Amino acid sequence: MNIPRITRQDCSGGVQRKTVAAMKKGNQVLHAQNAEFDSKVGAATGRKGSLKVSTVVASSLIRNLFIYRHISIRKFLALSEDGATNTDVWLSAAADFAGAWSKTLEDWTTAKRAFFENFIGKAFIFNGVDAPKQFDGTTWAAVTNAPTTGKYPAVFNQRLYVLGEDDFLNYSDVCDATGLAFTSTTWANRGINPYDGQKGRGLVNHRGRLVIFKEESIYRYSNNTNEPESIIDIGTHSDLSIVKFNNLYFHHPTGIYKLGVGDPILISQAVEKYLDGMSTANWENVAAGRDLRNIYMWIGDVTINDPFEFDYGVTYTDVVLALNVFTGAWSVFTNWNARAWAFDKDNGNAYFATAAGKIFKINTAYADVDGTTIKPIDFGLVFHPEDLGYPELYKELGKVVIGGQYQSGIRMGASSDKILQEGQVEKIAGEANASVVGKEIWAAVYESYVDLPPRIKDFILDKISLYDERK
């Protein structure tokens, strides 16, 4: 029996691997490596590249990035390991983290992340161990009476608050009439259910309240007199995984969550297999960033450990999960060693820093460029397998069309094993003619690029016959 051809002309739903193929939305794909779905609505396009703008300390982990702002002044700072001996704050001589770099704050405790905040014309830095400092754009100075145990700063109600891993919330006096100093040098604190077996992990001013993160709980705090209680028993193990883009987004071992005015919502089901395949040692290292459309979560190397997945046993290097916050479409990027992020709100540029001391700007051209080394971007798009509504019957497929702009051959077959092998089917103008017999039909496009990215917009199966038994 012959049946009409099947046409899919929208890929904008992004990656969806959580459901069986029959439950997917028509615009979702099974796998999209280094593809994005928003530059052309309905199409899957190879992601843009990254460009190394500087190296801070070669071969040394960069633990954080920060932009100091005061009126029209902007200074670009990096917190970097200095070999294995200590941690230092470096200042870029140019905008956009483009270096050369000079050391401005030396000999802080090694292997400790530090966090920054702009307030009263200064940048404040805390790491929970060393005496806090303030930076006026030129020099660093002590912060009188500020707690050494404070680690996560945030500005709220004209005060500087800082949460420690010990779960004490410390806060300054209010700013004075000039807006450039505290009214007094007094600091006070209160416990947020201290010593309950959880470490404090983050502090964010959000929607008129402070949101306090612990490893397994979240609190909302609105003034100095209310008694905060956790709103839910989910938090984060990584202080770098919290990113604000209207809502708050963060990683927990159970997934990636979005927090607005209510309870956190799990949003990462579509890319769950990558989170399941990450190392648990990276739970405390997940690093989040943003640009003008997306949030990004670096989760490290991932090995797919579900034997029912088509890519079972495959390892993807330096995985970054990307979510378009406007469409809800997920993408999966690879080969971005993004250990810390920065977003420049003045021009929309986004940056990540690596374990090798390098800083990259993203959304640049269509290759990953590290000095004179140009690294091709590996693109892979796998459509959900099609059983055409007859899962029990064998089909013979004579033609597949994958429309768009790309240079590689179409891969198609009756199983996922076929599409993982190179050169299964050659294409002619996006059309492959070959006899495929099976209960499912698989199709994919894989290629590497350094200039013009692939763009896929149509998926058509044609010349289809059904059989009661295999021919």
**406 falls within a domain:** yes
Q: Which of 17-21, 22-26, 265-269, 332-336 comes out lowest in average pLDDT?
A: 22-26
State mean pLDDT over 21-41.
Answer: 85
pLDDT tens digits, one per residue of 188-227: 999 999 999 999 999 999 999 999 999 999 999 987 666 7
**17 falls within a domain:** yes
Mean pLDDT for the chain overall: 91
**453 falls within a domain:** yes
State mean pLDDT over 26-54.
Answer: 93
Pair 120, 179: CB distance under 8 Å = yes
Name the burial class of residue 235, with classes exposed (0-12), middle (13-18) and buried (19+) by CB atoms within 10 angstroms of its CB. buried
Q: Is the pLDDT of residue 243 over 90?
A: yes
**62 falls within a domain:** no
User: Could you tell me the CA-to-CA distances from 307 to 301, 311, 313, 333 in Å, in that order?
Assistant: 18, 8, 8, 22
Q: What is the pLDDT of residue 231?
A: 76
Pair 407, 462: CB distance under 8 Å = no
Pair 101, 93: CB distance under 8 Å = yes
Q: What type of residue sits at position 452?
A: L
Q: Is the pLDDT of residue 424 over 70?
A: no
| Tokens 């770099």 found at | 101
Name the domain count of the chain: 1
Extract the tokens encoding 394: 């064998």
Q: What is the pLDDT of residue 402?
A: 87
Q: Is the pLDDT of residue 420 over 70?
A: no
Quick one: CA dihedral 410, 414, 416, 418, positive or negative? negative
Total residue length of the chain:
471
pLDDT tens digits, one per residue of 274-333: 999 999 999 999 999 999 999 999 999 999 999 999 999 999 999 999 999 999 999 999
Range list of β-strands (E), 109-147: 115-119, 122-126, 133-135, 140-142
**437 falls within a domain:** yes
Q: Is the pLDDT of residue 384 over 80?
A: yes
pTM over the 0.85 mark: yes
**121 falls within a domain:** no
Q: What is the pLDDT of residue 423?
A: 42
Q: What is the pLDDT of residue 427?
A: 53
Instruction: Tell me the backbone φ, ψ of residue 239, rounded to 5 degrees.
Output: -70, -20
| Tokens 């209207």 found at | 246
Range list of β-strands (E), 313-452: 315-324, 330-333, 340-344, 349-353, 358-364, 368-370, 373-375, 377-382, 394-405, 410-413, 431-438, 442-449
Q: What is the pLDDT of residue 10?
A: 85
**286 falls within a domain:** no
User: Could you tell me the CA-to-CA distances from 387 to 3, 149, 230, 299, 384 in Å, in that order?
Assistant: 12, 59, 47, 34, 10
pLDDT tens digits, one per residue of 346-359: 999 999 999 999 99
Q: Is the pLDDT of residue 164 over 60?
A: yes
Q: What is the pLDDT of residue 362?
A: 98
State mean pLDDT over 156-167.
Answer: 97
In which element (H, E) is residue 419 found? helix 416-419
State mean pLDDT over 382-401.
Answer: 86
Q: What is the pLDDT of residue 145?
A: 98
**105 falls within a domain:** no
State mean pLDDT over 408-426.
Answer: 68
Q: Is the pLDDT of residue 270 over 70?
A: yes
* Exposure on the CB side of residue 158, measured as CA atoms within 13 A: 12
- Domain of residue 422 covers 2-31+380-467
Q: Which of 81-85, 198-202, 420-424 comes out lowest in average pLDDT?
A: 420-424
Q: Is the pLDDT of residue 240 over 50?
A: yes
pLDDT bucket at 13, cuts 50 / 70 / 90: confident
Q: What is the pLDDT of residue 196?
A: 92
State mean pLDDT over 442-447.
Answer: 90
